[in-house]
Amino acid sequence: ALKLVTIGGGSSYTPELIEGFIKRQDELPIKEIWLVDIPAGEEKLNIVGRMAQRMVKKAGLDWTVHLTLDRREALKDADFVSTQFRVGLLNARIKDERIPASYGMIGQETNGAGGIFKAFRTIPVILDIVKDMKELCPNAWLVNFTNPSGMITEAISTYGQWDRVIGLCNVPVNAMIDEPPLIGKTTEQLTYKFAGIDHFHWHKVWDETGKNVTMDILDKIEADEGDGGLPKNIFDVPFYRAQLDNIQMIPCGYHRYYYREEEMLDHAIEEYNGVGTRAQQVKRLEHELFELYKDPNLAVKPPQLAERGGAHYSDAACEAIASLHADKKTHMVVSTVNHGAIPDLPEDHVVEVSAQIGAAGAIPMAFGALAPAERGWLQLMKNMELVICEAGVTGNYGLALQAFTMNPLVRSGHTAKRILDELLIAHQDYLPQF
Ligand code: NAD
Ligand code: G6P
Ligand code: MN
Ligand code: MN
């Protein structure tokens, strides 16, 4: 019988996760689910945790759902540990977005200066979790969802020296759900191959006859017949078709920040001056969701949750757990050690690729070399991740400045240094390493 632990259990996404476990009740012999949070999240944990308990009860299952602030008690003898925490909660994200925007730069949850600082805040906590796991549940799998998911998975692997980890994101899941109907196919009929790093990958698609249908899907997206599963948090600026014709792959939604930086920045500044940044909008949505979760009669995931960017999150998290446990050998797109799947990137560092998920973990599929344009971007972005991770572990200021300089969304110069200094002060309570 399985003991599952979720760190950051007070997240508004928890009902989505519980729904995913309920769907897979035949594959997962669950006994206990432990939802872990910290004092700052205790109220949220209690509200959403009771909602989770009602969902399990309504499904007629005898699983015990524990709500706790004691991470070590939860981790003892765990089989699977998933992470969905946000160090500093949404108030910290507001700073990640607003401080760069106030200087005319993009600050986003996983991109630009904001993404760098989300990594800096999260790395000390995740390494502490890994330390606890080595002692309390050395055979458990760590399923990381905490953003920036790829960089956090890199830190777990490289600095935590923990290889039973899989990093996840819902973006590839959304693409594989929303694209097939655009060309009159089902997901099962198509073969997908992804490669890159988290929030910076491309993919190619073939149909059941072996025909490459990548550009057919792009035709439909260009004709506005669908968005291919673009998450709700990303402003939909179209890519330039001439550029896509050259790439011959479908970029992920986040490529917009790099291929159409000007328009994405204009939009971010407009929101900053108007409705508020994404974090401010999410805060309102979260408030609405928690009001719903308080209803003692509510025991199903409310539709409003689909307004969050992480929709379909449970499909990734719960399917990964079911595949690892039941050796399902499912095709999933995950952050895992490269092992040569992308020859343009180092073998022993984390990439986000199509992989087979089974009892042996993630076995990445070979993708092959990229053309110079994509290779150049990817090598810059991956090496920037490595710089961010080392700075996040060591607290080295010069290295943090290097990360800012490498980041394409941060214009280098005195303003960048000022943004760095301001973020260091704004987040000092969560940056013990600096
Ligand atoms: P949230 O602000 O609701 O935070 C979730 C919970 O984490 C809160 O209840 C908070 O108290 C708790 N927490 C904070 N620090 C903690 C710690 N040290 N230990 C344990 N719990 C702690 O966040 P959210 O909006 O639900 O998002 C959760 C996380 O999932 C974020 O990191 C977010 O970026 C990530 N996410 C990832 C994807 C993806 O594609 N990988 C998609 C959506 C969200
Ligand atoms: C997207 C991404 C996440 C991202 C999140 C933001 O789908 O995959 O990694 O950070 O959703 O969603 P939010 O609703 O919090 O802005
Ligand atoms: Mn993601
Ligand atoms: Mn730069």
pLDDT tens per residue, range 263-287:
999 999 999 999 999 999 999 999 9
Q: What is the pLDDT of residues 173-227, one digit of tens each?
A: 999 999 999 999 999 999 999 999 999 999 999 999 999 999 999 999 999 999 9
Q: Which atom of ligand 2 is nearest to the CA of 171?
A: 8
Over residues 87-102, the mean pLDDT reads 98
Average pLDDT, the chain: 97
For residue 199, give the ligand 1 atom closest to its CA. Answer: 40
| Neighbour count for residue 96 (Cβ, 10 Å) | 27
Give the Cα separation of 37 and 128 in Å (integer): 14
Find the 368 Cα to ligand 4 centroid distance in Å. 28
Q: What is the predicted pLDDT for the residue at 114?
A: 98
Q: Which of 151, 308, 314 to mutate to test the pocket of ligand 2 (most atoms within 8 A of CB)?
A: 308
Q: For residue 210, report the distance from its CA to the centre of ligand 2, in Å.
A: 33
Each residue's pLDDT tens digit, 401-411: 999 999 999 99
How high is the pLDDT of residue 10? 98
Is residue 315 over pLDDT 90? no
3-class SS at 125?
helix
Q: Which residues pair with 404 in a beta bridge?
A: none
How many whole angstroms separate alpha carbon 265 and alpha carbon 138?
Answer: 44
ipTM for the predicted complex: 0.98
Q: Is 1 exposed, middle or buried (0-12, 13-18, 19+ CB in 10 A)?
A: exposed
Q: Residues lining ligand 3 (ion), CB within 5 A?
A: 169
Cβ atoms of residues 228 and 217 within 8 Å: yes
In the chain, the percentage of residues whose pLDDT exceeds 90 is 98
Ligand 2 proximity of 146 Cβ (cutoff 6 Å): no
Q: Please name which of 112, 21, 7, 69 lies closest in space to residue 301, comparing C-alpha atoms.
A: 21
Output the CA torsion 415→420→423→424 (10° steps).
-140
- pLDDT for 322 equals 97
H-only helix segments in 186-336: 214-222, 241-247, 256-259, 261-273, 278-293, 313-326
- Predicted confidence (pLDDT) at residue 54 exceeds the cutoff of 90: yes
The predicted model gives 307-331 an average pLDDT of: 93
Residue 312: what pLDDT? 85
**Which residues are the active-site residues?**
254
Which region, left, alpha or beta, applies to residue 178 given φ > 0 means left and ψ of -120 to 50 means alpha? alpha
pTM for this model (two decimals): 0.98
- Express as a percent the part of the chain with pLDDT over 70: 100
pLDDT given at position 314 = 84
State the distance from the centre of ligand 2 to the C-alpha of 309, rounded, in angstroms: 4
Q: Whose CA is nearest to atom 41 of ligand 1?
A: 169
Atom of ligand 2 nearest to the CA of 308: 14
Predicted confidence (pLDDT) at residue 354 exceeds the cutoff of 90: yes
